Structure 1
């Protein structure tokens, strides 16, 4: 099991001089956090003392991966979101391409640990795993013949060391060789699935998610925005509204998952504020909706744009920036509290609780999505209410 996104080359065979770049990375991360952190009290922690505690451990690190792990343990002591040191390869090979919607070879799902076992939580719509029949709730038993949790291919999808949430994991792939997985969809009944990784991005998965759902004699548009990192996501939502959802009765806007840019957040909010979408909408959120998506949810509720359904959001709401260090690694550091977006209300460490809280059991769910199903029921109610109001208004006009 690998932490962060990649395993960097071991440094055991390097000369002693190689120790300086490693400890320099630690020192730069400590100093940058001291200088840029949004709270000058360092969240009530003695930042200098933490350096003295962790620096000897960093000096003993034998690999860059180990050094980054130690550095992130120190950063996690501040107990906040958006504070993490990201390896150079992870940032350049995964985050930067996603910002531009550039596809990279992927198996196409994320898993989370529940009671010591790994279960598929999220699938990239139209990705290799989705097309291979893997479903939400499937247990990941083995990867390429190795017990899943012990596999070197199992890679953390990124997490805040200062938050208590268990990390999401994905299966690393170079796109050259197929990956053999043992999957358990029902307890005690496993099957082998061979997946050939294909280039895909979360932007493409968001585009692939666009569909019309028929429910109760109505037509509902559905789109899942994997993140708010790029205006391409706004384009996906806007295009779906004006084209595929043109004759739909309502909209299910699914913002479960990662955060992103306030600019994208405001652009999508504008579609509802200005009446570009003039029919009922239900917002779907969960405990991994974070950052800009949490602000989006708060504003959506504050402005009474529609019902919200799901789970209390992650509580990871700080304005942050990326700072590249001298070795090419990248420090994500929070530089503002972001409460000006929410009329002074603090969401960091708290989250946003939707109007309708829904249970979301994962193990062996067989693809069933309680949040989506409840959202459909709620949207049906909203459409019927709208129709009833329109009928009453017409009747009043006729008798006046």
Structure 2
């Protein structure tokens, strides 16, 4: 690679670093869709996906909408949250530009900008439009974005895990103890949209709930890539557990969901997961400040089922049409189904005795603000 870069530099007057990077991008693209090249190494260890630690923006997580983008949630401390924007609001304009027909990346590019700058966002809520001026700022992206009680009477807690990044298990421990101190009896663990992260974090977090049995196994070309991980945590949380997933729950999320489901530790609620069943390992480069992330193994569920291209089927399916998935309203149907699943079972049934697919029965529940 270095020889080719030197030749390109002397004969074509191209910068060596640029040649090496282009070569790296092209080579990895030919392998598989998950192998990639990154400038500057990030977290160490095998990964089933990667994520950033901070962003500059207004603090919204978005989903494609025919009129622009719909807000899935606002990030803690972001300008959008401070301005009162909420789930289900549709962003239809940015700086007086209509967003209809634009891709999600195009919408995001219009919203983002330098820290300290402002952006005018046109928002539609229940057929009423409003223009909000928001200040862009750096927002630290934590692994856990939401911790709260969703049913104050029945003491049902909610933890939303955005990614399995470094320190996720420590954040989870703090969140669990916080809810425990509030009297939590049951837990909804939200993995919707979670693309994955470190394999080690997925195993550690699974250990917080699975008292015994296999968690995940990996198989690769080399003997070192063949592993079997089993539950080892002496003290696990034993409250009734529901895990929310969707088509964007991938990799480490699927490892956790399969471990919960196949060890009969709780219920999986939502829609079939993405089906990314491969592990990437990083190889730092010496020529440039960057890293190869190469697919080195596949992972398998506790029962030995290959996850790649298959994913996890929920125990409780929340069916929604493409139109319903796009028209996200302020009421979270997946969360309602998860709460209903908890309330329609006896406490012990959701601890370590679940088997078979379940249907959600109507139940009374109350959401706290």
TM-score by length of 2: 0.71
2:20 is matched with which residue? 24
1:248-327 equivalences under 5 Å are: 248-256=184-192, 257-274=194-211, 275-323=235-283, 326=287
Q: CA deviation at 1:234?
A: 1.1
The answer on whether the counterparts of 1:91 and 1:329 sit within 8 Å (CA) in structure 2 is no
Aligned match for 1:199, one of 138, 144, 160 = 138
1:334 aligns with 2:295: yes
Where 1:229 maps in the other structure, the secondary structure is coil
2:353 is matched with which residue? none
Aligned match for 1:137, one of 70, 79, 88 = 88
2:97 is matched with which residue? 146
1:46 is matched with which residue? none
How many pairs were matched up?
305
Q: CA deviation at 1:198?
A: 3.4
1:379 is matched with which residue? 342
Q: CA deviation at 1:384?
A: 5.2
The answer on whether the counterparts of 2:72 and 2:328 sit within 8 Å (CA) in structure 1 is no
Runs of 4+ aligned residues of structure 1 deviating over 6 Å after TM superposition are: 89-92, 149-152
The answer on whether the counterparts of 1:290 and 1:315 sit within 8 Å (CA) in structure 2 is yes
Q: CA deviation at 1:116?
A: 6.8
1:29-48 equivalences under 5 Å are: 29-31=25-27, 33=28
1:241 is matched with which residue? 176
Aligned match for 1:121, one of 58, 68, 72 = 72
Q: Name the structure with the higher strand share.
A: 2
Q: CA deviation at 1:323?
A: 4.4
Where 2:124 maps in the other structure, the secondary structure is strand
Per-residue CA deviations over 1:332-389 (Å, capped at 9, x if unaligned) read: 33221123x54442222221111011135344433221111111111112355669xx
Q: CA deviation at 1:249?
A: 1.4
Distance 2:51 2:18 in 1: 30
TM-score by length of 1: 0.66
1:383-398 equivalences under 5 Å are: 383=346
1:185 is matched with which residue? 125
Q: Name the structure with the higher helix share.
A: 1
Listed as ranges, the gaps of 5+ residues in structure 1 are 1-14, 34-74, 93-98, 158-167, 388-400
Aligned match for 2:331, one of 353, 368, 374 = 368
Q: CA deviation at 1:104?
A: 4.4
The answer on whether the counterparts of 1:212 and 1:245 sit within 8 Å (CA) in structure 2 is no
1:219 aligns with 2:155: yes
CA distance 1:29–1:177, change in 2 (3 Å): closer
Distance 2:12 2:100 in 1: 33
Distance 1:90 1:194 in 2: 36
Where 1:240 maps in the other structure, the secondary structure is helix
Distance 1:310 1:235 in 2: 26
Where 2:203 maps in the other structure, the secondary structure is helix
Q: CA deviation at 1:267?
A: 1.3
Q: CA deviation at 1:133?
A: 2.4
1:349 is matched with which residue? 309
The answer on whether the counterparts of 1:100 and 1:230 sit within 8 Å (CA) in structure 2 is no
CA RMSD of aligned residues (A): 3.5
Q: CA deviation at 1:219?
A: 0.7
Distance 1:169 1:336 in 2: 34
